[in-house]
Chain A
Amino acid sequence: MLRVVCVSGRGGEDAVGLGECPVVRDLADGGDLVDKLRVKIDGRTILAAPGKTILEVAEENGIHIPTLCHLDGLRDVGACRLCIVDLYGQLVTSCTTKVADGMEIGTQTETVRAYRRTILELLFAEGNHVCSFCVSNGGCELQDLACELGMHSVRVPYTYRRERVDATHPRFLIDRDRCVLCGRCVRVCQEVEGAHTWGFAERGVTARVITDLAVPWGTAESCTSCGKCVEVCPTGAIARKGASNAEMRKHPELVAELTERRARG
């Protein structure tokens, strides 16, 4: 349903091509006219609401951009860099960059795809992502990204991290060797649950997620055991105890639902 209003002095609904309209407005739900921006994504001219990110606009228009640290309902941090897109030759993360009128964006340029693949290789190389016996096998966002981005092999040597599994929590565990440091657990714990149990410690390759002041999860007093971190974790790093090989199926989409419902009151 085209609800485009072309305001070019003539007024009223108009069938002229979008490219010719100097100012474009959309009839919002309440019937108000809302300013819209024109952006070009992969050659397609698209109308976008101001204040939205490139990622949101692309998704709304059926253009898929790979993501990992992004999750609807959580603040975006631009950490994984997988959602990079080409903006006038610069690479920007689509999850943190707001659309502006006239933007020309490439989501699948050769450079962008090559860099995403290299970044994914770096992610695989830094952890122990042994899919075959992982609880999240078949339900893992990292595993899916390898398929999506066409990663055939990891060209840098694997590091074979060796962290201890923290299974001190009665219901959950964390295997940091499977952690991709997306920070979703940290954000959901802060922004949605408000418990601030998860945080980051150290830096560089030794950076890791911790509970409270780096105490075993089971002894973290702030933890409400709500399990949101389990649901948002994109890999098998944070999992339910008792889940066996390929048995974990997570529901990160619950966060968006939760925040929307809260917003509605």
Chain B
Amino acid sequence: MAGRLDVLVCSGGACMSSHSLEVKEELVRQLEAQRLADEVRIVETGCMGPCQYGPLVLVYPEGVLYKNVAVSDVAEMVAEHFLKGRVVERLLFRSETADQIVREHRSIPFFEKQMKIVLANCGAINPESVEEYIGAGGYEALGKAVTTMTPEGVVAEMKASGLRGRGGAGFPTGTKWDFVRREASPKKVVVCNADEGDPGAFMDRAVLEGDPHTVIEGMAIAAYAVGAQRGYVYVRAEYPLAIKRLRSALEAARKLGLLGDRIFDTAFSFDIEIRVGAGAFVCGEETALLASLEGRRGVPHPRPPYPSTSGMWQLPTLLNNVETYANVRHIIARGSAWFASIGTGESKGTKVFALSGNVRNTGLVEVPMGTTLGELVYDIGGGVPNGKTLKAIQTGGPSGGCIPVQYLNTPISYETLKELGAIVGSGGVIVLDEDTCMVNLARYFVEFTASESCGQCVPCRSGLVRMLDILDRITRGEGSMEDLALLEELAHTIKRSSLCGLGQTAPNPVLSTLKYFRGEYEAHIRHKTCPAAVCAALFVAPCEASCPAHVDVPAYVTHLSNGDFAKAFDVHMKTNPLPGICGRVCYAFCETKCQRAQIEESVAIRDLKRFMADYAMEHQLAGPKPGARNGKRVAVVGSGPAGLSCGYFLAQRGYEAVLFEALPIAGGTMATGIPAYRLPRDILEADIDRIVKTGVRIELLSPVEDLGRLFADGYEAVFVATGAMKGQTVALGETLPRGVVTGVEFLKGIHVDGASEVGDEVVVIGGGNSAIDSARAALRLGAKRVTIAYRRAKADMPASPEEVAEAMEEGVEILDMTSPVGVVGGERVEGLRCASMAAGPFDASGRRRPVPSDRPEIVLPASMVIVAAGQEATGELLRGAGIEVAKGGLVAVDPVTMGTSRPGIFAGGDATSGPATVVEAIGAGRRAAIAIDRFLGGPGAFEPEERAEVATDYDEDAYTQEQARAVPPMAEVRTRIRSFAEVRGRFAKEQAIEEARRCLHCDRQQTEDGACCESSASLAAEAKTR
């Protein structure tokens, strides 16, 4: 009954759980209703791969793939597509790179780089129909093997193919077959290991559910080759659908004589039984599996003897994994040479991976060995969602390891991953973004293996729980460096002395994270902080933890929600004295970690701060009173955010803090580099004035050239916060014509030295915030056309996405993958020559490096070229004081005390970190003030008092329902590009209170005896591995 259309409905496990069967029922109903039942054939298939987008419906002959199909979409699909031939565009995939709808499913980036051998039939045929399997070439290989090949020939072919065991260990399959074949026993057994137990791994399940015959055929060929009469599939009880489909496939195969006596009328007889395991992870280990298969307790025994000599019932036993068997028929049918041509060196063919974690396209993918990790994560996986950055890739499940982002160019093979401390394993790939705590991740895996240890051998049984115990302590901030050493020792002992593969590999997650992320362990131990803000015992709330100044966000936001604006302001001033500035230009690290985003979007913390700061300014709220004078004087060089913050906190502790500023205005980069449309000058001045009123003196036009002089003048300590004010230049030629300026000069000119003439056409080079600032400022200075040339992809721009969007709204054009090579012009600049770049291999930051493309150079006409491609510190002052200064003018300081190599001299802010953010400088200034206090004999601590939780006077539960994030009014594009007036408006009072009430009070949940934070942390880990 060949129809006009074939409609394939995915009935893999994931799609079924998102109701694909209901979609199918509805399709049947709608086709009946439209009288199309004869023309359209509906096929239930196995897993199609992109599980995230289920239910999936694939329509042939066009090959149109619909995603996230709901029952309510079916009527439209039938009426529009099946009846009128009009594809329903809203259900199609969209390419992330080109932002286009993709109709043909092979062109979807997810599928483009895949090569389906094992999964060839999955999602393409009805797994419950042996006829469809045969129609797709099934059982041809078995026929070929038993009728035209000798068993030796089959084994030779397998050896030549280079196939290696896909269950994890990667043992050469042909060699194993040869071992079993050479055994003299008249009775032999073939076993299929379908006890897939790694968290987040489902490739074997997909094959069994989507193409069970391919496994049967592989096993039958194996049985013929090694001389076995019986086969067993050991499959876990958690896979009921796989069992059901396998069972019906076995029956169908028996009916057709493909199993049983005298297969293909030869002397070869073979049959297969299913044995259902109870789902113990250790039963994936071959000797434990065989014990369980025989009906004994599923614990491993030492090898030798290997199953190939003495396996099930002491008979020679061939044991391979599902995916290994699924390769067999292709090798026999198409030849070993074809198979060996795929892949790399010692790793041939393809590998199926279950892609999960923080990646856009989760699901099942099959790629040739040798595909790079970067291609897997970015090209197929679509990269990391939600604007987060990639941190590491975990491969191989609980036995595997974490590969950090700098290895994205690594081609996947057994050898390369092992070299990096990870393994291919059975094929689980978990993508981890910046919000992953590596200690917590290692803890999660060890918790899993400890609970799955069979308990037979001592190192695994008793050692893993000890490791877990230590990891627990570390994640609670109670670990010591001795613990870390013991953890490592236990890991090595367990790895080398355990009885079976479970114990021998269980320490890998710890060893690999120690290898690449030891600093994170040490942060938990030495500084009692969790850099990823995951380990709940180590912080108040994720927002507070991620704030470089550690502002108590939950407290001030909750005060705002109560309408206690003054109290909110007081809380804020305890840790950050620049609310007006931060309310406008802060990067808002807090918002990136806000848990509200799990419901809809993060709380608008920065806009709330701005509302609060404006309220404080208008009501002339003062900062806290300075501490009683202790008679000691400290000099601060520079009046940027780091200097201001340091001076403010020193004054709080009673020091006489004097800030020396070379320029005629205070504020550092905030005054010279941030245009007024983002940071109005009255706001800047108000924040600085308030600090001055708390007892800080600022000496303008007072450059410091010699730190020694300051000590001679009676200052007992010095904090150097001179920023990174030198604009970097790009090699554009020897002598540059007029009209080529650095972003630093250009922006400083606007508010300090006097603005320059920009002319009509401005080209800005760079991709950071100062490039965007320069571009938008140039528009406001009258440029008619402003273009930004950036050498990487737009998604890789370091500038905040929000500002990129605002700049584009204002008409700034962004040319990405465009690298400047030279300027055009005589005395005055006339244009910028640019090369077109292509995306090359990944660099250490996990972004694709731009490489020259074969497209021709272009010339952008320019009346002015602004080079905003980075800034650096000079380090002159510190070098003069005998302190070592590294490349880029940077000085090494202790990250906690900000102390340099010379006692009494401290440094912080951009001067030590390179260009960073205002709030990071504030945090550095505060840490320096604490360290200086300790250096000068003080207690070196600010708030010994316990943090007070803020109660609310409204119904909090009412705000846990979805509620859109509030958006402040914005100046219209038409008017805003004509002046430097502020673009972003302020919340109204009621709006601010409502927005503040969206806070979920994470601080509170975590102080209640830790019970719920533990569950939320483990939930998050579980979610990650799903």
Contacts and interface: CB of A to CB of B under 8 A. Distances in A.
B304 A84 contact: no
Max chain B C-beta neighbours (<10 A), residue from A98, A114, A122: A122
B461 to A, nearest CB: 6
B465 interface: yes
A88 B299 CA distance: 27
Given A91-B497, A122-B463, A123-B462, A204 B486 contact: no
Interface stretch (A38-46, A74-82, A233-241): A74-82
Interface string B251-288: 00000000000000000000000000000101000000
A126 B464 CA distance: 12
Given A78-B499, A84-B497, A156-B486, A204 B461 contact: yes
B453 A81 contact: no
Contact of B452 (A82, A199, A204): A204
Contact of A204 (B450, B493, B496): B450
Contacts of A156: 466, 469, 486, 490
B453 A204 contact: yes
B493 A118 contact: yes
Interface in B494-525: 496-499
A205 B459 CA distance: 11
A189 B999 CA distance: 64
B302 A93 contact: yes
B458 A203 contact: no
B458 A81 contact: yes
Interface string B590-602: 0000000000000
Contacts of A130: none
A79 B451 contact: no
Interface centre among B280, B450, B497 (most CB of A within 10 A): B497
A77 B456 contact: yes
A125 interface: yes
B670 interface: no
Given A115-B497, A205-B461, A122 B466 contact: yes
Interface string B536-576: 00000000000000000000000000000000000000000
Contacts of B466: 122, 125, 156
A110 interface: no
A207 interface: yes
Contact of A155 (B456, B462, B486): B486
Contacts of A157: 469
Contact of B450 (A98, A126, A205): A205
Contact of A125 (B453, B456, B462): B462
Contact of A119 (B450, B453, B493): B493
B1017 interface: no
Contacts of A98: 304
A96 interface: yes
B962 interface: no
B62 interface: no
Interface centre among B304, B496, B498 (most CB of A within 10 A): B496
Contacts, number: 99
How many chain A residues sit at the interface, stated as a range, is 35 or more
Contacts of B457: 78-81
Contact of A203 (B304, B452, B490, B499): B452
Contacts of B451: 204
Nearest to B486: A155
Contacts of B458: 79-82, 119, 122-123, 180-181
B489 interface: yes
A96 B301 CA distance: 10
A153 interface: no
A78 B452 CA distance: 19
A124 to B, nearest CB: 10
Interface in A87-101: 91, 93, 96-98
B462 A118 contact: no
Most buried by B among A119, A181, A199, A200: A119
B86 interface: no
B455 A207 contact: yes
B865 interface: no
Main secondary structure of the interface of B (DSSP, over half): helix
Nearest to A206: B455
B691 to A, nearest CB: 50
A20 interface: no
A155 to B, nearest CB: 6
B787 to A, nearest CB: 62
A205 B446 CA distance: 13
- Most chain B beta carbons < 10 A, residue from A115, A156, A202: A156
A99 B804 CA distance: 71
B297 interface: yes
B453 A203 contact: yes
A119 B465 contact: no
| Most A CB within 10 A of own CB, among B301, B302, B462 | B462
Contacts of A82: 458
Contacts of A84: 497
Contacts of A125: 462, 466
Contacts of B461: 126, 181, 204-205, 207
Interface string A129-158: 000000000000000000000000001110
Nearest to A199: B297
Nearest to A118: B493
B190 interface: no
A66 to B, nearest CB: 13
Contact of B455 (A97, A111, A119, A205): A205
A78 B280 CA distance: 21
Interface in B863-915: none
B462 A207 contact: no
A212 B464 CA distance: 29
A7 B838 CA distance: 72
A119 B497 contact: yes
B454 interface: yes
A107 to B, nearest CB: 14
A96 to B, nearest CB: 4
Contacts of A202: 455
Given A80-B458, A126-B462, A203 B282 contact: yes
Contacts of A114: 493
A210 to B, nearest CB: 11
A140 B463 CA distance: 23
Nearest to B455: A207
Contact of A81 (B282, B299, B459): B459
Interface in A193-213: 199-200, 202-207
A77 B461 CA distance: 15
B455 A118 contact: no
Nearest to B301: A77
A136 to B, nearest CB: 19
Contacts of A199: 297
B497 A81 contact: yes
Contact of B496 (A91, A122, A155, A205): A91
A7 B452 CA distance: 52
Contacts of A123: 458, 462
Contacts of B297: 199-200
Nearest to B453: A204
Contacts of A115: 493, 496-497
A125 B937 CA distance: 45
Nearest to A75: B301
Contact of B301 (A78, A81, A207): A78
Interface centre among B280, B452, B461, B498 (most CB of A within 10 A): B461
B898 to A, nearest CB: 36
9 contacts: A80-B457, A81-B498, A123-B462, A126-B462, A156-B466, A181-B458, A200-B456, A207-B455, A207-B461
Given A119-B459, A181-B461, 18 more contacts: A77-B456, A78-B301, A78-B457, A79-B456, A81-B457, A118-B490, A122-B459, A156-B486, A156-B490, A181-B455, A181-B458, A200-B299, A200-B455, A204-B452, A204-B454, A205-B462, A205-B465, A206-B455
Interface of A: 77-82, 84, 91, 93, 96-98, 111, 114-115, 118-119, 122-123, 125-126, 155-157, 159, 180-181, 183, 199-200, 202-207
